[in-house]
Structure 1
Amino acid sequence: MKSPIAWSIVLLALWLGGCASVSTDPREGGLAGGIKGLSTGAYDARIREREDRLAVLRQVQGELETERDDLEYTKAQRKQKVAAERARVRRMNRDIAALNRRVDSLSASANRNDQRVRTLRTRVPQIQSQSARLQSDLDALEGSGLGDSEADLRRAQLEQQRASLQAEYDLLNQMSLDLAR
């Protein structure tokens, strides 16, 4: 028979041999896993790995916040452009209404057969209709999303239409002034 010291050595050897297969994860390894994790440096490695992942996540979060801010700025700029175009259309509508009143006045006092008066009479309502459609199209652009190249293209087309209508209005306005003389 062996002495109690020999049995202690055998048990210690078996216990230490069992520690080799023990996980270093503190949730799984228990006391033996904790001792093994501390002695092998596995805990420190896990901490460094998690700190590195946290740093990467914080960097990504910062980049996403910057991108969000850029998108918000772009959205605000586009909203201002649409608002400016709306204001121009409203001014043009007021000018067209004034021109229409002037044409009515000229029509009453001028020769009704004058071709220029007839041209003004037919063209002014057409311009008013086009201006109303332009206003409606601008209203439709109000809710467009960010980065939408189709919306940008449509806004550019509407700006072109507004400029064309403005030029035609200016010509008709000059014609009405010439008739008033």
Structure 2
Amino acid sequence: MRIVTILISGALLVGCCTNVTQDPSQGGLAGGVCGLTTGAYDQRIDEREARLAQVQGERYVAVQRQEDLKVNDAQSRRELSNMKSQVSRLQGQISSVTVSTTNKKGQKAELSQRANNLQAELNRLQGQPPVSQDYERRKAELEDEIANLWTIVNTL
């Protein structure tokens, strides 16, 4: 007799499913029985598990993207550091070249002045009558020194 009572009660409750919500938080006992017998609970569980799997997949993609961004950030920081080092080395080289250029300009001006002085002495000697062999020797020495100085000036 109990079985019959249970079956009749179940049939009555299932019959009541048409007017009862299948939301387990709102349906009460009738909604619970209705949800179990119609499979609504299982369907809600499946939907929520599917949504959970989707959210977990999105989270995995987001975590991977974050890791990729961290790697790219670290690489960019290394490249930036390398570029800063290169700029620093180039600035040092520029300073060195600037100093060297300034020194060479000074040397060139000094050598040029010496060459002009020698040329003036040579012009003075040429304006005088040759008196001795010393004159010709000194003239040849001055011409050689002038040529050497111009070679040095042009290589600077």
TM-score, length-normalised on structure 2?
Answer: 0.58
Whether 1:40 and 2:28 are equivalent positions in the alignment is: no
Q: What is the CA distance between 1:101 and its match in structure 2?
A: 1.4
* Aligned residue number for residue 162 of structure 1: none
Q: What is the CA distance between 1:61 and its match in structure 2?
A: 0.7
* Aligned residue number for residue 138 of structure 2: none
Say if 2:13 and 2:34, in contact at 8 Å, map to a contact too: no
Residues matched between the structures, number = 105
Say if 2:20 and 2:30, in contact at 8 Å, map to a contact too: yes
**Which of 59, 76, 79 pairs up with 1:78?**
76
Return closer, same or farther for 1:46/1:60 CA change in 2, 3 Å cut-off. Answer: same
Within 5 Å, which residues of 2 pair with 1:15-164?
17-111=15-109
Which amino acid is 1:73 matched to?
Answer: V
Return closer, same or farther for 1:33/1:55 CA change in 2, 3 Å cut-off. Answer: same
Say if 2:22 and 2:32, in contact at 8 Å, map to a contact too: yes
Q: What is the CA distance between 1:112 and its match in structure 2?
A: 6.3
Structure 1 or 2: more helix by fraction: 2
Cα deviation 1:89-124 (Å, max 9, x = unaligned): 11011011111112222222222697xxxxxxxxxx
Return closer, same or farther for 1:16/1:96 CA change in 2, 3 Å cut-off. Answer: closer
CA–CA separation in structure 1 for the residues paired with 2:80 and 2:13: 77
Which amino acid is 1:94 matched to?
Answer: G
Q: What is the CA distance between 1:31 and its match in structure 2?
A: 1.0
Q: Could you tell me the percent identity over the aligned residues?
A: 34
Aligned-residue Cα RMSD (Å) equals 2.6
Q: Which structure has the larger Rg over C-alpha atoms?
A: 2
Q: What is the CA distance between 1:18 and its match in structure 2?
A: 3.6
Which amino acid is 1:95 matched to?
Answer: Q
Q: What is the CA distance between 1:88 and its match in structure 2?
A: 0.9
Return closer, same or farther for 1:108/1:20 CA change in 2, 3 Å cut-off. Answer: same
Return closer, same or farther for 1:13/1:70 CA change in 2, 3 Å cut-off. Answer: closer
TM-score, length-normalised on structure 1?
Answer: 0.51
Structure 1: runs of 5 or more not aligned: 1-11, 115-177
Structure 2: runs of 5 or more not aligned: 1-9, 113-154
Return closer, same or farther for 1:31/1:76 CA change in 2, 3 Å cut-off. Answer: same
